[in-house]
Every structure is written in structure tokens, then in C-alpha cells.
């Protein structure tokens, strides 16, 4: 994945979170990912293996070059995020391998102590307040939570979510809210430990809220 982060007008991190979550689900549900589609083989190899996600940062001409790499771009609010067809990290095309993984900081969303009600089925993702991560790492956890939660939805829930235009919300909860809501989550994410944090660290939780 790559987020567009221009120096003059950087996007809001909460918008990047939502775009990353929507992007991964959109790629998995794309017609090109179906058995006769051009993306089926690489996507299946990725989903059947140890799923790994990396968020890179792009700006200016580097962002434009990244559009030439197979994938799709999601716009949400102030954010643009490119989701690339999965591949081996060490074999990433030059347009991607040159993009920075570690990036300048973005303002973190404020923590919430109460979860707002929703009017439509909404994919809800919470990040563990007890784990320190860079914003790129947080994006990877958010996208992974979205992927796992969507994969677990039955057909009726997917249809309801689609009919509501696929709303997604990502929150940074207080410790108390996290502790109260975690038992009700349908999906929890434990990191593989490739970067930043120890293997098995609980990073995110997700469910379809109604």
C-alpha cells in the first residue's frame, strides 16, 4: 500500500486509515481477483500464505509513477491510498521499492471514550491503545483487521454492508473503552512480528456494528 502524503497539504491520518481498510476489501472483491481474473493467482498466493502488509509514503511524481503499478486507488476525505496487487516484498517493482516506509509523523486522531451509534451496518475498527506503532504500521493493522472481518461476514451481512455503501470507521479508543469493547469483537489481529512490535502482539479489533 502507499498513501499520498504531500508536504504542503498532508492528509488526515483517520482518512488514510479508512482508505486503507476500504482499499484492501475492494481489491479482494474486485472482478480481477475472481478465478478467471488477472489478479487471482497473486492474490490467492497472498491470502493462502502468511499475509503481510506494508504501508509506504509517496508524493509528487513518485505518487504518479506508483499509479502505473497494478492495483487500485481509493479516495476518502483528504486521503488517497493505492492498494497494489500482492507480491514478494524483495521483488517489488522499482516504483514501489523506492518509496519510503518510515515517514514524517502525522497528527494522530484523538482518543474516544464512547463509541458513537451508527445508522447503517458499519465496519468498525479499533486500534489497541496500549501498543505504540508508527502510523504506517497502524495502517497495516487497520487494513488487516478490515480484511479478516470482511472475510468472516456471511452473505447477508456483506449485502447489507454493500447496500449501505460500505461505511468504515476507525477509532483510537481509551484503555477503558478498548477493554469494554474487545470481548464483543468478531475479529482480533495479532501481529506477525516482522517489524516494530513483538510477534503475537494484539494490535486491532473489528466487527460489523449495527
Which residue range is the domain that position 24 belongs to?
2-97
The total number of structural domains in the chain stands at 2
**Residue 180 sits in the same domain as residue 123:** yes
Q: pLDDT > 70: what percent of the chain?
A: 99
CATH code for position 151:
3.40.1490.10
* Exposed / middle / buried, residue 132 (Cβ in 10 Å: 0-12, 13-18, 19+): exposed
Q: What pLDDT, in 10s, does the model give residues 37-58?
A: 999 999 999 998 778 899 999 9
Query: What are the backbone dihedrals phi and psi of residue 124, each rounded to the nearest 5 degrees, phi first?
Result: -115, 130
Q: Rounded distance, CA 18 to CA 92, Å?
A: 24
- Report the 10 Å Cβ neighbour count for 127: 24
Q: State the pLDDT at residue 102.
A: 66
Residue bearing the bigger pLDDT, 51 or 123: 123
Q: Is the pLDDT of residue 195 over 90?
A: no
**Residue 202 sits in the same domain as residue 122:** yes
Of 52-56, 95-99, 171-175, where does the model show the most confidence?
171-175
Query: What are the backbone dihedrals phi and psi of residue 75, each rounded to the nearest 5 degrees, phi first?
Result: -105, 130
Q: What pLDDT, in 10s, does the model give residues 132-159?
A: 999 999 999 999 999 999 999 999 999 9
Q: Could you say which DSSP state residue 67 is in? A: T
Which of 42, 73, 97 is the last residue before a domain boundary? Answer: 97
Q: State the pLDDT at residue 100.
A: 87
Q: Could you say which DSSP state residue 182 is in? A: G
Chain position carrying cell 497473486: 42
Taking the model in full, what pTM does it have? Answer: 0.95
User: Kind of pairing, strands 122-127 and 71-76?
Assistant: unpaired
Q: Rounded distance, CA 53 to CA 136, Å?
A: 10
Q: Is the pLDDT of residue 121 over 90?
A: yes
Which of 30, 62, 97 is the last residue before a domain boundary? Answer: 97
User: Kind of pairing, strands 187-190 and 111-112?
Assistant: unpaired
Which three cell numbers, joined as nine digits, stand for 109? 486522531
Q: State the pLDDT at residue 103.
A: 65
Which of 33, 64, 97 is the last residue before a domain boundary? Answer: 97
**Residue 81 sits in the same domain as residue 8:** yes
**Is residue 133, in this structure, part of any structural domain at all?**
yes
Amino acid at each position: 500500500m502507499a498513501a499520498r502524503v504531500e508536504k504542503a497539504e498532508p492528509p488526515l491520518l483517520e482518512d488514510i486509515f479508512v482508505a486503507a481498510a476500504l482499499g484492501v476489501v475492494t481489491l479482494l472483491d474486485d472482478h480481477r481477483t475472481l478465478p478467471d481474473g488477472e489478479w487471482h493467482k497473486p492474490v490467492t498466493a497472498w491470502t493462502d500464505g502468511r499475509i503481510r502488509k506494508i504501508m509506504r509514503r509517496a508524493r509528487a511524481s513518485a505518487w504518479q509513477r506508483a499509479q502505473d503499478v497494478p492495483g487500485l486507488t481509493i479516495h476518502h476525505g483528504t486521503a488517497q491510498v493505492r492498494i497494489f496487487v500482492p507480491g514478494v516484498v524483495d521483488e517489488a517493482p522499482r516504483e514501489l521499492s523506492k518509496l519510503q516506509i518510515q515517514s514524517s509523523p502525522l497528527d494522530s486522531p484523538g482518543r474516544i471514550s464512547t463509541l458513537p451509534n451508527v445508522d447503517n451496518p458499519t465496519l468498525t475498527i479499533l486500534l489497541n491503545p496500549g501498543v505504540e506503532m508508527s502510523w504506517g504500521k497502524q495502517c497495516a493493522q487497520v487494513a488487516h483487521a478490515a480484511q479478516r472481518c470482511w472475510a468472516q461476514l456471511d452473505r447477508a451481512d456483506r449485502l447489507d454492508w454493500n447496500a449501505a455503501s460500505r461505511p468504515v470507521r476507525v477509532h483510537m479508543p481509551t484503555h477503558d473503552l478498548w477493554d469494554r469493547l474487545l470481548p464483543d469483537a468478531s475479529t482480533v489481529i495479532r501481529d506477525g512480528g516482522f517489524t516494530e512490535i513483538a510477534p503475537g502482539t494484539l494490535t486491532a479489533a473489528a466487527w460489523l456494528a449495527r
